[in-house]
């Protein structure tokens, strides 16, 4: 599942090349996703925010989060 999130993140990095704020957030997420245990180390609110920033549909966030932990 984390590999899929990395793919989404890489696509968003390309999309946001002209939006410095969103690009910076995606680059931060890219660094976070390098750690395979990242979702175990962060609280649920941080994880949900990260998934929202990856443009995961709201109705899928909880399900994806549960798969990651």
Count of structural domains within the chain: 1
Helix 58-68 to helix 44-53 angle, to the nearest 10 degrees?
120
Range of the domain at 34: 2-68
pTM: 0.91
**Which residues in the chain come in under a pLDDT of 50?**
none
Q: What is the structure's pLDDT at 34?
A: 97
Q: What is the structure's pLDDT at 46?
A: 97
Q: What is the structure's pLDDT at 7?
A: 98
* Tens digits of residue pLDDT in 46-65: 999 999 999 999 999 999 99
């Amino acid at each position: 599942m984390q590999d899929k999130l990395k793919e989404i993140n890489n696509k968003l990095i390309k999309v946001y090349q002209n939006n410095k704020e969103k690009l910076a957030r995606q680059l931060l997420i890219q660094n976070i996703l390098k750690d395979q245990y990242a979702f175990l180390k962060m609280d649920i609110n941080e994880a949900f925010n990260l998934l929202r920033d990856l443009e995961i549909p709201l109705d899928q966030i909880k399900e994806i989060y549960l798969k990651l932990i």
